[in-house]
A and B are shown apart, each in its own frame.
Chain A
């Protein structure tokens, strides 16, 4: 106990206040999802489920959801591979330019989305690549790599080399060592990183607008398009509420796994 009583009370209060601040808009979305009218004025006059009906019947939503899923999975997979490779390289070896690799991995997420988007757009056009699900995936992968990289490198630091050396002393090849010793140790870090990367990809809008052709729509693009229509916003609220509720599960799972692992490592 290194904090005074007063400080503890203030901290508790601050936490409650900040959490309320964070969740207030989400609650507002939830309420507006049931708004009867397209008029967004407050207080709400009447309630209705019509926007949920519309959300399910509109074909655009389902397609956008699928596209978002596919792009997210693809980007996460790429990020998992590249991020793990890079983190092992940086953590386990000393070489010239080690710091620069960290900087490079960080760059796509540090630079504004519009810069990454424009750059990739220019590159795809010059390379003659056709815009579609692949270009979206590549665009997302650039900033997803750093998420996986951070998670894995933090864990790899904690996995002792001795375990791996012992494994090889006992006759295992490097691949066997990786499969049976290293991988189980970093598995949950990969999962946590992968989930966070997927979340980032699912929600990304700016880079996506530059890397999609006319046809493919991810959920955020669909939301932006819908915003231009007079009845668009209420449907968006309904879809958003559904997405928030649905995503509680993966986040909770990820946290349980990551938490359990880091507790075990301590």
Chain B
């Protein structure tokens, strides 16, 4: 048996021992790099972008006029179209989130509480795999499915029905499809964490299945649902590719993209971009209050 000898002292050892006695310094060292990247680079870029919002662009020569001006914001606030588009986008984001939650919850529940471990593993892979199929390809696939002579109409024909074709319904359908895995996985993780003993205790205290679900499972799973909703909400809020491919409706992302990519009007685009930024920050703060950050 070798005795556990204390290793000889060396510079690195002394440094690490010294460091051990300074937890604050350890913290600073740990956080330095990530905070630099996030605060300086990311937040800095955001600030730079929002700075653009206070400038204007000459429409003919596309020259940037750097004099401070609130013109862009005034344009947005007084325009009917932008108001409609903003409300439409936020509304769609909520609708998609609710749909994903309603559809995703049963699946997540089944996976977490009813499936055997082998089936559970298989199902997780099955849910994850479509995330690896390109987003663009999935939208193109839906485009082909929804088109006039497409799969959906062909399948509904014997029933005498017609598919929704392109438009707002198509956008809702495709968004729900795309973000469903982002909702299912957090809910699954959240439901998995509920100890079986809690449910048994609820049963022991006289709660039947329905009551246990309403009073025990739902409240415990709620933060996970909110966590999933962060993704579905934000991804819908800014997307412009899906609305452009399966509808002619303008969403917030479309107008921003048009101002940047087509009109080259970065100031107006930046001003428009401040809308989703504001909405998301509010959403994140509410989500944090509801406990979602522990459940992601």
Q: B180 to chain A: closest CB distance in Å?
A: 7
Residue from the list A118, A174, A199 in contact with B273, Cβ < 8 A: A118
Q: Give A contacts to B, CB under 8 Å.
A: 2-4, 7-8, 10-12, 14-15, 18-19, 21-26, 28-29, 32, 40-43, 81-83, 85-86, 88-89, 93, 95, 99, 101-116, 118-120, 122-123, 126, 138, 141-142, 145, 150, 168, 170-171, 173-175, 196, 199-200, 202-203, 205-206, 209, 219-220, 223-224, 227, 233, 236-237, 240, 243-244, 247-248, 250-252, 254-256, 259, 263
Q: Is B296 an interface residue (CB 8 A)?
A: yes
Are B266 and A107 in contact (CB-based, < 8 A)? no
Contacts of B296 in A (CB 8 A): 106, 150
Instruction: Please classify the interface of chain A as helix (H, G, I), strand (E, B), loop, or mixed, using the class held by over half of its residues.
Output: helix
User: B128, B147, B257: which contacts A255 (Cβ < 8 A)?
Assistant: B128
Residues of B within 8 A of A (CB): 4-7, 12-13, 16-17, 19-20, 23, 26-27, 30-31, 33-35, 37-39, 41-46, 48-49, 52, 103-104, 106-107, 109-111, 113-114, 117, 121, 123-138, 140-142, 144-145, 147, 149-151, 154, 177, 180-181, 199-200, 202-203, 209-210, 212-213, 230-231, 234-235, 237-241, 253, 256-257, 260-261, 266, 269-270, 273, 276-277, 280, 283-284, 288, 293, 296
Tell me the bound Cα distance from A138 to B38 in angstroms: 11
List 8 A–B pairs whose Cβ atoms lie within 8 Å, in order of A's numbering: A26-B133, A99-B288, A104-B35, A112-B253, A119-B42, A119-B46, A145-B38, A240-B133
By the criterion CB–CB under 8 Å, are A171 and B20 in contact?
A: no
Known: A28-B144, A223-B137. 11 other contacts (CB 8 A): A85-B31, A85-B34, A93-B23, A93-B26, A108-B42, A118-B49, A145-B38, A196-B128, A227-B140, A244-B133, A259-B121
The answer for the CA separation of A43 and B132 in the assembled complex, in Å, is: 27
Cβ-defined contact, A111 with B238, below 8 A: yes
A111 to B234, CA, bound (A): 6
Which residue in B16, B114, B269 is a CB contact (below 8 Å) of A3? B114
Q: What is the minimal beta-carbon distance from B57 to any residue of chain A, in angstroms?
A: 14
**Chain A residue with the shortest CB-CB distance to B121:** A259
> A19 → chain B, closest Cβ, in Å?
6
Asked if A114 and B253 sit within 8 Å, CB to CB, the answer is yes
Nearest B residue to A170, CB-CB: B4
A205 pairs with B140, CB closer than 8 A? no
Considering the complex, give the chain A residue whose CB is closest to the CB of B127.
Answer: A22
List the A side residues contacting B138 at CB < 8 Å. 25-26, 29
Q: Given that A112-B234, A118-B49, A123-B48 are contacting pairs, would A22 and B31 also be in contact in the complex, using a CB cutoff of 8 Å?
A: no
Residues on the B chain within 8 Å of A81, using CB: 33
Query: Is A26's CB under 8 angstroms from B130's CB?
Result: yes
Q: Are B141 and A25 touching (Cβ within 8 A)?
A: yes
**Contact B209–A22 (Cβ < 8 Å):** no
A129 to B214, CA, bound (A): 55
Are A42 and B30 CB-contacts (below 8 A) given A123-B41, A173-B12, A255-B124? Answer: no
Residues of A close to B129: CB separation below 8 A: 244, 247-248, 251
Within 8 Å CB of A85, what residues of B? Answer: 30-31, 33-34
How far is B74's CA from A5's CA once the two chains are assembled, in angstroms?
59
Q: Give min CB distance, A120 to chain B, whole Å.
A: 5
> What residue in chain B is nearest A173 (Cβ atoms)?
B16
Docked complex Cα distance between A22 and B185 (Å): 14
**Would you give the shortest CB distance from A179 to chain B, in whole angstroms?**
12
CA distance A90 to B33 in the complex (A): 14
Contact partners of A252 in chain B: CB under 8 A: 125
Q: When chains A and B are docked, how far (Å) is the Cα of A76 from the Cα of B76?
A: 38
